[in-house]
Amino acid sequence: MVPIHGGMIRVLLLDGQSGGPYHNWKLTTQVMKAELDETGLFEVTVMTAPASGGDFSDFKPKLSHYQVIVLNYDGPSWPEALRSDFEKFVSSGGGLVVVHATDNAFPDWPAFNLMTGIGGWRNRTEAAGPLWYFKDGKLVSDPSPGKAGSHGARLPFQVVTREADHPIMKGLPAAWMHAPDELYATLRGPGKNMTVLATAHSDPKNKGTDHDEPMLMVLSYGSGRVFHTTLGHDAAAMSCIGFMTTFQRGVEWAATGKVTQKVPTTFPTANDVSFRVDLAAMDPAYLNGASSPVIVQPSRQASPVHPPMHTATAPKP
Ligand code: ZN
């Protein structure tokens, strides 16, 4: 697909539902739009779909107008006609970007689970596919039975590059400290045509698996390219310059197969978080002091100054 409209890449940012109030999708859509807009590369259209089970009779987006769909949507189902349009869009060469809890969506839609590779929650079990993680430097699948999807408290954690030569990763450090976020673990799925670009170690001291869990992935589905980031629970997590950069690059790559964006000089280093105050401050909770990205020195075993908003006896996605 060739960009038109002055060379801008046409992006459909599609939202409309989340699994619960812990994901403020209206806000995270605005943060993602701001991040895409400031690159000058994208013409972003935000579209809000009905919630699952709602009236889809007037919801007929012309997907073929866009080069890439950024999906910020977590619901159980869509009508067959929309699913079919969506599958056709991606399989015929459209780009797809899957952000955080979007990989919780649609557990019963096989094509969607092939596009995302792995997902969690929504009653997924081993029937959804094996667990996928890195062991001894390699991606492995683990058929152990059990639930899918878990995370601990929102702390900063280190993201480790696994495919330094991929266009999305080129020029990024070998490891960087991500701002406080949910570190997704025990995700399951078919994992077909999936390349894991980056992992993070899931710490048993924070309800983790002790595995190096996939954080950033690329997949192919037919002729379509998919970029899947498990990062980005909230505006604070998305204000991380590591999230922002990989997201901006992932959207460009999913649309065109190339990345023309430079790595910002403010990119986080192996031990220090780097985030954008203006993006974090789009969240009213941040301005109330309830959802601050906290700079900590992980080497000093620091705990966050502000407790996570849900410390999770029963973790939500
Ligand atoms: Zn979340």
pLDDT attached to residue 288: 79
pLDDT tens, N- to C-terminus, the chain (317 residues): 444 556 899 999 999 999 999 999 999 999 999 999 999 999 999 999 999 999 999 999 999 999 999 999 999 999 999 999 999 999 999 999 999 999 999 999 999 999 999 999 999 999 999 999 999 999 999 999 999 999 999 999 999 999 999 999 999 999 999 999 999 999 999 999 999 999 999 999 999 999 999 999 999 999 999 999 999 999 999 999 999 999 999 999 999 999 999 999 999 999 999 999 999 999 988 877 776 555 443 443 333 333 333 333 344 67
How many angstroms does the Cα of residue 156 sit away from the middle of ligand 1? 14
DSSP bridge pairs for 140: 133
pLDDT attached to residue 286: 83
The two three-digit tokens of residue 60, written as one number: 């007929």
How many angstroms does the Cα of residue 10 sit away from the middle of ligand 1? 27
CA 196/CA 194 separation, integer angstroms: 6
Q: Which domain holds residue 94?
A: 9-300
Kindly state whether residue 311 falls inside one of the protein's structural domains. Answer: no
Please give the C-alpha separations between residue 298 and each of 19, 156, 199, 302, 303, in angstroms, as whole numbers: 31, 8, 17, 6, 8
Domain count, the chain: 1
How many angstroms does the Cα of residue 242 sit away from the middle of ligand 1? 17
pLDDT attached to residue 3: 47
CA 209/CA 227 separation, integer angstroms: 24
For residue 31, the domain's CATH number is 3.40.50.880
CA 114/CA 116 separation, integer angstroms: 6
CA 110/CA 189 separation, integer angstroms: 10
How many angstroms does the Cα of residue 182 sit away from the middle of ligand 1? 6
> Phi and psi (nearest 5°) for 155?
-125, 165
DSSP symbol at 49: P
CA 58/CA 63 separation, integer angstroms: 14
pLDDT attached to residue 242: 98
How many angstroms does the Cα of residue 23 sit away from the middle of ligand 1? 6
The reported pTM is 0.91
Inter-axis angle of helices 241-256 and 25-37, to 10 degrees?
70
pLDDT attached to residue 6: 65
How many angstroms does the Cα of residue 188 sit away from the middle of ligand 1? 17
Which of these, 129, 134, 160, 163, lies nearest to 146 by C-alpha position? 129
DSSP bridge pairs for 131: 142, 188
pLDDT attached to residue 293: 54
Kindly state whether residue 254 falls inside one of the protein's structural domains. Answer: yes
Residue given tokens 């991500």 in the structure block: 178
How many angstroms does the Cα of residue 57 sit away from the middle of ligand 1? 30
Kindly state whether residue 135 falls inside one of the protein's structural domains. Answer: yes
The two three-digit tokens of residue 221, written as one number: 């589905």
Kindly state whether residue 314 falls inside one of the protein's structural domains. Answer: no
How many angstroms does the Cα of residue 5 sit away from the middle of ligand 1? 35
Residue given tokens 């430079």 in the structure block: 262
CA 96/CA 82 separation, integer angstroms: 15
Which of these, 47, 105, 57, lies nearest to 79 by C-alpha position? 57
Kindly state whether residue 202 falls inside one of the protein's structural domains. Answer: yes
